A and B are shown apart, each in its own frame.
Chain A
Amino acid sequence: MSPSNHKPDLEESINVSEVHGSVVREAAACAREKRIVDNGIEPVSLWAFVACGIVLLIAGGVLGGGGSLFAYGVTFRPGYVRAPAGGAEDTGPVAKAAMAAYQSKGSKIFSAKCSGCHGADAKGNGSTYPSLAGSAYVNGETERFSMIILNGLQGPVSDGKVYGVMPPQGIGMAPEDLAGIMTYMRNNFGNTKGDVVTMEMAKAAIEISATRKKAGSSCSSEELTADHVKPLPGAALDPGMMLDPITLQPAKAP
C-alpha cells in the first residue's frame, strides 16, 4: 500500500491504489489507449471531388460504350458469318492433302455411326458384329462396299459367317460423308488400300443405291455378288493433292 491511500477526499468504497495497481499490472496496454473521437468536420478538399467526378465520367463512358444495353440483337445475330478480322486478309482454312482431308471427315462419321457396334478399333465382337479390319468387303470393290453402308446387310458377310443384321446408314448421308467414311475405313485399322474414294464416286454410289431393284431393303450377299462387284465410276484422285478441308474442293494456291 502506498501513502496515496490516505488522501481524505476520496470515497472509501474505492481503494484507489488497489484499482490503480491492478490497472498497472493487468491493463497497462488498455490504460494507455486513447478514446475514439469520430466527429471530425473537416471540409473535403476540392481535388477529391474533381477526381471522383472524372472517374464517374469514365464509368458513364464505359456504360455508354455498350450502346443500347438491352439490344440482344447485337450479341445474338441469326445467320452470322465470321468476317475476316482486321489487319490481315482472311485466307480461309489451311489446305490439307486429299487423303488427310477425306479421312478427317470420315473419322467423325466413324465415331458417330460405326464405332458403336463395330468398336472403336473396328474389330467387332466376333459374334453379332463382324470385324472391319481386313474385311474383303471393305477392301474390295468400292460399289459393293458403298451399297452395304447405304442399305445395310442381311445374311452371310465376306467371310461366309452370319452375324447380326446391319441396319442401313444411308439416310441423310451426304456424298462427302460417304466418301470420307469409305476412305477412312479403307486406310485405317490395318487396311492399307491407299486410294481415295472421291465425292464424285460417292455421288454415283447414292444414285446406284436409289435405282436398285429392291430399293429400300437391306442388301444380301447374293445381290452384292450379282450386281455390285465393280469399282464406282469416277476419276481417281491423287492422295497428295491439296484440298480445302471444309469443301473438299482443290485449294487455291496460297
Chain B
Amino acid sequence: MSVQEVALAGRGHLTFSHPPVLTGWATVAGKKETEGPLGRKFDRIVRDEAMGERTYERAERQLLKGAVELLLSIEGHHATDVDLMFAGDLLDQLVTANFAARDIGIPLVGVYGACATSSEAILLAAMAVASGAARRAVAATASHHLSAERQYRYPIELGVQRLPTSQWTATGGAAFMVEDGTKEPSGKAPSRNDSKALRITCATVGRVQDYGLKDPNNMGAAMAPAAADTILRHLLGSGRRVEDYDLILTGDLGRIGHPLLEDLLAEERIHPKERLQDAGIRLYSEDQNVDAGGSGAACSALVMGAMVLPSMRKGELRRVLLVATGSLHSPRTYQQGESIPTIAHAVEVEAVE
C-alpha cells in the first residue's frame, strides 16, 4: 500500500481506502474501576494500588506494560512481531510509556494528548498501518489515580475537599492491536471467539480549542467544545449523519461536559440523543464518590476495551465513533493564570462480517 491511499479529505479528516483492522485489545483495571458498572469485564484486575512497587509512578508503568504484554499473549504474538508502538500517558516526559517501552522492546512513538491519548494512539497506529509503514502496530495508554493526584493536584494524604465538578482519574491500562486488513491475521491464536472484524474506516485529528475556561477542577466543561468541533468536522469529512452511528463515545466529559456537548451540537441542529455516551460517566457509578465522573488517559481506553469493542465483536454495535477528549494544561500554566486548551480525536470503527 502507498501513502496516497490514506486520503486526506482536508482539515484533518482521514479516510482509509484499505481500512486497518482492530484485531485485539487488553485491559488492566484498578480496584475502584472493577467496582463500577463494567465490573468484571476487564481482562486483568489489580487490587493493590502500588502493585507491589516502591512508587505509584512505577505502578502506572506496570499498568501499561501489563496491558501490552497481555495483548501480545492473547493474540499469540511476540514483541518482535510488532513493528511500531504508539503509547502515551499523563506524566511529565511521558515516563510511563517511555520506561515501559524500555522493557517491552517494540519501537516506540511517544504520544501526548492528555486524556485524548487513547484515540490519538489508535489513530496514529491506523495511519501507520494504512500507509504501509507498519504491518502490525500497538496503541497503548495508562493512567494511575494516585500518580495523577501527585502531579496535577495535592499530596495524597493532604485533606482536600472534592468539588461537585471534580473528576476522578482512572487507574488502568489498555492496549490495542491494529493490523493490515488486506492480509489474513497471522496470530497463532485466533483472537477470542469473534464473528465480526473491526475496521478503522476513517478518523479525524482534533483541533485545539479554548473557550477561556480556567478551572482544572472542571475539565469536562473545558473539553466539550473540542469534542463538538471534532464530531462536527468528522460528520462533514465522512459525509455521514449522526444517525449513521450506533454509538458516539466521548472520552471523559463527565456529568458536566456531557450536557454542554449536547448543547453545542444542538446549536448545529445535531441531536445524537441516546447514541451520544461518555466514558467518564460509564466507567463509575454515581455512588462511587467520583463527583462529575471519571477521567484520565485510561478512562476512555478502559470503556472501549471492556465494553464497546466486545459489543461490536458480538454484532451488538455496528458503527461507533470514539472521541477521546483531553485537557492540555499543566499545573504550571494553571498557576500562571492561563486558560485550558483542549483537544479531541475521533476514530471511526465499523464491525463487518
Is the A/B pair a real complex?
Answer: no
The residues of B with any CB-CB pair to A shorter than 8 Å are none
